[in-house]
Amino acid sequence: MNKPEILKKGNFERWRLIMFFGAIGLVFGFYIFRLYLLQIVEGEDYQAQAEENRITEVNEPTRRGVIYDRNDFVLARNVASYNVVITPADLPVNEGDIQGIYRKLSALIDIPVNQGDLEDETTVRTFKECDNELGISEIVFIGDTNAPYSPIRIKCDVDKEVALEIEERSSDWPGVGIEVDSVRDYPTGELTAEIIGFLGPIPEILEEDYKAKGFVPNRDKVGYAGVEFTLQDILGGTNGKRVVEEDVAGQELRDLEPPIDPIPGNNVRLTIDTRLQSAAKEALVAEMDFWNTYFNEIRSSNGVVIAINPKTGEILSLVSYPSYENNRMARFIPAYYYEQLTRDQNRPLFNHAISAEHPPGSVYKMAAAIGALNEGVVTATQKLECPEVGKITINQKFSPNDPGTPRDYVCWQETGHGMVDFQHGVAYSCDVYFYKITGGFEDEVPEGLGVWRLSEYARALGYGRETGIELPGEASGLVPDPNWKRVNVGENWATGDTYIAAMGQGYVLSTPLQVLVSFSVLANDGKYMKPTLVHDVLDAEGNIVEPFEPELVWDITKDPVITVYDERNFPTEEKRVVEPWVVEQAKAGMRLTITGGTGEGTFEGFEIQTAGKTGTAEYCDNVAQSKNLCSPGNWPTHSWYVGYAPYDDPEIAVVAFVYNGGEGASVAAPIVRQVMEAYFELKAIDSTPGGS
């Protein structure tokens, strides 16, 4: 039977043949289409993915810059830290040999061979090198699973002796090694912690920002406080980069591009003199301890001392007490220690020198003093009476149509000061004198300076604004006026608010640094120099790349910074300066404070001519309220003193503040004297050949 006959009889139907070849065609068509799609249409994408799997960028850590004081004493540096690491791929093949190595290593570094459950997904997901509760076997298993050719840290920061012993056994312990890491060390520790700060891991919220700068989260550390934080861009440097080829196990095969070396961070020389910093902190603590012992109770437990060169703005010392030990934060931030610091009511992590806002008390009177003279409210020789009863009575009003209520305003000296001129008003810190020149009083002073003009002169001296010092968390203080009170308190400005503001009380708030700046302006003949902690910036070889240049903010005797107000107390477009003779009168008053005023006893016998101002500021904050200290008419007081020397050519100005310290002349002034004595002693030593 021939073939056509077979087909004719239906033994093999044509449509089956067509279906068969059609199916084969579809299969081949599908694979041809997929090949076209993969190699032509999406070829570049897959090529890129393959290259990405093959090519890896290795980020090489840089070296952080060193911080020195003005005499090149090291305040922050990098020291070696030794980490024990294991490279899983380099371990012996025999499991018995591996376990033998683990047992010997365990005895040396006090990490168990086996501990923890790897079947617990949470344990694996939250695993962090050097910060977990797993044993050596479990840690190596995780490392072997992720990247067998990459060293995984078993224990961090081991003693150098342990590291050397492991290195000596490297031939017997294949796969076990020592990684040398760099950690921050602070030789002066707590003495300068409020200035230097400390480092910490990159915060999660800032990861993307730091990644864009080439930093690696969970490895690189950045500044968390002090100049370590504010000078991060200067100190941090730039990480290096290598582009390498890896195999599927993560083993590096070769460099594909010339490596980019890390750029070390620049070094910074600060304006601080560590020796003066030590003397200032010792003086502050000793004075507080003396008075706490004298009263047989803890009256004062925090305070501030700051010293500045008025002519340049260089901060010579900055003490915020209590502080903390930043070396305890060098490798990691201990949770228990951090919690201890945050629970301390004296807030050691809080920089009281720049962030604490307190009523400045009588040191604020200098704003009213220069304002009253400059505006012609009184003359320098005009005498005002501080009566024997030590008080005056004014009519307290909240609006022009308010009939008012009589209210007494008392002087700190209950028997009064008699007839007082400008310089003696400053020297005696006579409250009644300043009440009258600021708020006015009957026919004796028909029109006082007033709150609006008082605010202008206070701001001209640096109150109510941040100074811009290179420390985080600076507060701006508060120079109140009627608008502020109406918005924030919901009341009209009262007559008495002006009288109280002149005393640096009521709503007035200032940081210790602002108080110091205000006196530096006067000591420097009206020139406001920006406070700074940075003397110069140096490269890794010690060459100066950014030399120190004092920055003049303004000169109140040349730059019109005082807004002129009309008779209705509305600001005008006109501005005025402070006359130089007004500044001279203010300085003379502060000099008289030492020779015949409230600071005379403290500075008796001081060989160098100095000038200054005492301050005793009433307060009633949450701490005082919790201790029931806010008795009507008998509030607790902070202690202030600001002084500068030499009087005719000032080199140093110092402010001392003691929380709940009492009288400024008794508590704060002796601290300033001790700091000044230390300064001039150190100056004499440094000027002597061979001195140090």
The pLDDT confidence band at residue 249, using thresholds 50, 70 and 90, is: low
| C-beta of residue 656 within 8 angstroms of C-beta of residue 672 | yes
Q: What is the CATH number of domain 58-270?
A: 3.90.1310.10
Report the percent of the chain where pLDDT is more than 70.
92
Report the C-alpha gap between 690 and 450 in whole angstroms: 56
Report the C-alpha gap between 425 and 276 in whole angstroms: 33
Q: Does pLDDT of 1 surpass 60? A: no
| C-beta of residue 49 within 8 angstroms of C-beta of residue 38 | no
Cα–Cα distances in Å, from 562 out to 113, 280, 366, 367, 575? 74, 35, 15, 12, 5
The pLDDT confidence band at residue 150, using thresholds 50, 70 and 90, is: confident
Residue at 650: amino acid letter: P
- The per-residue pLDDT for range 601-618, each reduced to its tens digit, is 999 999 999 999 999 999
Report the C-alpha gap between 468 and 514 in whole angstroms: 11
Specify the pLDDT at position 252: 63
Report the chain's C-alpha Rg in angstroms.
36
Give the mean model confidence (pLDDT) for residues 672-679.
97
Specify the pLDDT at position 258: 82
**274-687, what's its fold?**
Beta-lactamase (3.40.710)
Give kind and range of the element (H or E) at residue 96. helix 95-109
The pLDDT confidence band at residue 47, using thresholds 50, 70 and 90, is: low
- The per-residue pLDDT for range 489-542, each reduced to its tens digit, is 999 999 999 999 999 999 999 999 999 999 999 999 999 999 999 999 999 888
Report the C-alpha gap between 51 and 108 in whole angstroms: 43
| C-beta of residue 74 within 8 angstroms of C-beta of residue 123 | no
- The per-residue pLDDT for range 648-668, each reduced to its tens digit, is 999 999 999 999 999 999 999
Cα–Cα distances in Å, from 232 out to 166, 191, 218, 303? 35, 21, 17, 28
Report the C-alpha gap between 101 and 107 in whole angstroms: 10
Report the C-alpha gap between 658 and 576 in whole angstroms: 36
Residue listed under structure tokens 């008998």: 634
State pTM to two decimals: 0.87
Min mean pLDDT across 212-216, 283-287, 421-425, 526-530 is at 212-216
- The per-residue pLDDT for range 10-30, each reduced to its tens digit, is 555 677 777 777 788 787 777
Cα–Cα distances in Å, from 323 out to 336, 344, 657? 16, 11, 15
SS3 assignment, position 373: helix
Domain ranges of the chain: 3-41, 58-270, 274-687
Q: Average pLDDT over the chain, rounded to whole?
A: 89
Alpha helices in 440-489 (DSSP H): 450-460, 482-488
SS3 assignment, position 316: strand
Q: How many CB atoms lie within 10 A of CB 502?
A: 31
Among candidate residues 277, 233, 230, 283, the one with its CA nearest the CA of residue 75? 277
Cα–Cα distances in Å, from 350 out to 302, 339, 343, 690, 691? 11, 14, 12, 39, 36
